[in-house]
Chains A and B, each alone.
Chain A
Amino acid sequence: MLFLIVYSIAFGQNGAPSSYRIEQVQLPESMSPEVSAVAFSPRGNLVIANRHGDIWIRDNESGWRRFAYGLHEPLGLWVNNESDIYVIHRPELTRVQDVDGDGEADRFRTISDAWGLTGNYHEFAYGLPRDKNGNFYGGLGLESAGEIVMSRGPIRMRRVLDERHRSVTPFRGWVFQIDPEGRFIPLAMGFRQPAGIGLSPEGDLFATDNQGDWVGSSTLVHVRKGHFYGHPASLKWSPDFSPDQISREKLWEKRTRPAIIFPHGPMGGSPGEPVWDLTEGKFGPFHGQIFIGDFSALISRVHLEKIAGEYQGACFPFIEGESIGQGNMRMAFAPDGTLYVAQTTRGWAEGEGLKRIVWTGAPLMELRAISLTETGFDLEFTEKPDPILAGQATIYRVRRFQYHYHEKYGSPRINESDVEVVRVSTEGGRVRLELAELRPGFIYRIEATDLTSVDGHKIENGVGYYTLNRLLNGETDRSLPVEMKKLDEVVQSRQPTDVQKGGELYRQYCAMCHLPDGRGSQGIGAASFVGPESPLAKSDDELKAIISAGKDDKGMPPFGSTLSLEEIQDVVAYLRQAFGR
């Protein structure tokens, strides 16, 4: 018990709420720990898959056993029972069964393989929720650069509109349905890497998409049949596609807005599978919210509401940093209300395994939800806030910003500015913020600091990001975001540096690609700061310019609006101190 308390407090100071405990789940020694899918059987047994292609079952009575192997990078499971499991992997949706009853699968039936394959490393197949009518849902990632040698399905090499990631074969960049008869039904297009597919308790389909070209910052979208979500590559497989009618402006008009935009950096970079907290309090004070793991060291929460008939809402950091680690692409709630997190990062970063997050029941003061009002936002907390503190406008800070919609990799924040809080009122434990201006088409960052609950608990996370597509009256802004000021100016002046802060920022934003030891991920060609080709041979100003503007040809995103000039200088100072030169 003492160990658990120490563990919990330690993580409370290290990116996890203090009322949650994170445990490492012991895996079988003979299993590769690149855990790529997690689910539970109706009897409550844990079922996982890994990148090597295994499926393992942890029977609550008899322990671990390998159920199947030899699948090609499974990324989703749906468990009928301990001898009948559906799995989505690169080539197909397969029903895997143990027919002779010896505990090991012997039957592998192709339910659907109606999508294209070239062997490109980026051809991930994601899933695998199933609705009450027996329909499965999945998504297909686009192809990245690389030679196309052999294929399944027709090949169309021509790009639609300057995209970096391509849809060379059908139906790359689509979210699909497979009905109980095995029919493949393309549902919606415009995805880059729809790495997380989820069904809400109401039966609405959602998908996450990963930041990159044409995706300025990662998203969660409500998937509807026939809709287009922004990346042009997949359009070529739509029956009404006409290459002559494509332009950035037309795509923007056609694009269905995401319900949530996850600001790149503080809210991760590559979101995975969304799971709904239906534990009725077993997992703490967030029942009904969506939890989404991220490839970076982050798990976020999402609170959705319907405004003028469309979903939008806010995202919040839940757990971040070393306490959880990287590669949190798959998650599932266990019957006991704990959250299992499958981790894999192969080639992009470091981190793998299976973690279990447990709510300890200890008090927790956090910003729970943000809801839109006519003139601002209502804030809801996990505990009733101290009314005197909560009524002071000075403890709130509101900023808003946008992202570009363009073919470049990611986007800096544009048109970022503070928004004045003109009035604060409290009622029934909620706080109402009236703002000087409320404009659709922006992401609003709302922060409540130095707040305590009436029971004296200090707020642990008071930050949330609300994606404001529509006002309560349905008003929206359909205009393409245009940058109102130049970002180049941020690299001009000099300030005193803070190396320690630079190190924290490096671990948060840079280490995913450049690795904690600065040697750079070879898999993605990220620069090494310790070798003879180290970019640290460049001047400080050159390094700051690279960090600010990114390096498009290397796939490095710009950080000019994620980090301030001072923060960029801090990172450069840390690089010099940590890696020499």
Chain B
Amino acid sequence: MEKVSEMDRLIVNLGVLICLFTLVYSGRPLVYRTILPDSRPSSIAVGYDNGLAFVFDPIRGGISYAWTGPFLDLEPTWTGKLIKPARVLGKVFFRDARDLPFRKGNPEIESEFVFKGYDVGPERITFFYLLDGSPVEQIVTPLKTEDKEALHIQFKVADPGESYWLLLSPQPQARITSPEAEQIENCLKFQGKETYSVVIQHD
């Protein structure tokens, strides 16, 4: 019989304790709807196998921030009656606090945003919403580059004749690119297609 030292036992017990609240990845992204820091209630945290994670805020209508690391510590949201936000585990490389960053028609005017839900599949999550009554699918997948982590975002729109705009905010640690977009000041403009892609890459 294999002998187990007291120290080994302690390490195993600590490991079990940590696993209770620090999540372990599976094939699909992990998806938790809870109270998250710097994002509004009802926000959705998504974590991928490769250590990429982000928060989608259905009230703001976009990604609030993205990070690399072990994902989330949900213990504060599960202990006691007073809810405290989950703890983000890792280093945030992208933040956006602007309301409704993806807009239809006129970038100066906030589109009406109606959240409709999400699908979870292998290495991807798809958010469904209406922009001014027109359906949009936003598919987010982790992108593997040589040495940098990146989120690949695909917007599928129902009105290819309309212009769509992604408002950009200054990102000291991330680069945002799109092969289909025309950059006009601090916006990416999309028009004429049913699908547009955007990459948020950790610099």
Contact = CB atoms under 8 A, between A and B. Distances in A.
The answer to whether A and B assemble together is yes
Interface of A: 32, 51-53, 69-72, 89-92, 94-95, 99-100, 105-110, 113, 117-121, 123, 146, 150-152, 346-348, 522-524
Contacts of A105: 120
Given A72-B33, A108-B119, A152-B59, A119 B78 contact: no
Q: What class of interface size applies to chain B in its complex with A?
A: 20 to 34
Nearest to A153: B59
A91 B83 CA distance: 14
Contact of B33 (A71, A106, A152, A346): A71
Given A70-B30, A71-B33, A108-B117, A118 B41 contact: yes
Contacts of B42: 72, 90-92, 113, 117, 152
16 contacts: A53-B33, A53-B34, A91-B41, A105-B120, A107-B117, A107-B120, A109-B117, A118-B41, A119-B35, A119-B40, A119-B41, A119-B83, A150-B39, A150-B40, A150-B41, A151-B41
A150 B36 CA distance: 11
Contacts of A152: 40-42, 59
Interface string B14-30: 00000000000000101
Contacts of B117: 94-95, 107-110
Given A51-B78, A121-B81, A348-B81, A151 B33 contact: no
Most interface-central of A120, A150, A151 (chain B CB within 10 A): A150
Interface string B91-121: 0000000000000000000000001111111
A52 B78 contact: yes
Most interface-central of A72, A107, A120, A152 (chain B CB within 10 A): A72
B32 interface: yes
Given A99-B119, A110-B58, A347-B82, 4 more contacts: A32-B78, A90-B42, A91-B33, A91-B41
A106 B120 contact: yes
Contacts of A52: 74, 78
B31 A70 contact: yes
Contacts of A51: 78
Given A150-B40, A152-B59, A53 B32 contact: yes
Interface string B50-88: 000000001100000000000000100011111100000
Interface string B114-143: 011111110000001000000000000000
Most interface-central of A100, A110, A123 (chain B CB within 10 A): A110
A76 to B, nearest CB: 16
Given A150-B41, A152-B40, A106 B32 contact: no
Most interface-central of B32, B33, B80, B120 (chain A CB within 10 A): B33
A69 B29 CA distance: 12
B84 to A, nearest CB: 9
A524 B81 contact: yes
Contacts of B115: 110, 113
Contacts of B80: 346-347, 522-523
B82 A106 contact: no
A151 B43 CA distance: 11
Contacts of B120: 105-108
A4 B23 CA distance: 40
A326 to B, nearest CB: 14
Contacts of B58: 91, 110, 113
Nearest to A122: B81
A107 B32 contact: no
Contacts of B119: 99, 106-108
Contacts of A119: 35, 40-41, 83
Contacts of A72: 33-35, 42
A13 to B, nearest CB: 33
B41 A90 contact: yes
A58 B147 CA distance: 45
A387 to B, nearest CB: 52
A341 to B, nearest CB: 21
A347 B76 CA distance: 12
B59 to A, nearest CB: 5
Contact of B32 (A70, A90, A123): A70
A167 to B, nearest CB: 16
Contacts of A121: 81-83
A51 B59 CA distance: 23
Most interface-central of A91, A146, A523, A524 (chain B CB within 10 A): A91
B30 to A, nearest CB: 7
Contact of A347 (B28, B81, B116, B128): B81
Nearest to A120: B83
A117 B116 contact: no
Contacts of A151: 40-41
Contacts of B34: 53, 70, 72
Nearest to A91: B42
Nearest to A521: B81
Contacts of A91: 33, 41-42, 58
B81 A70 contact: no
A107 B31 CA distance: 12
Contacts of A347: 79-82
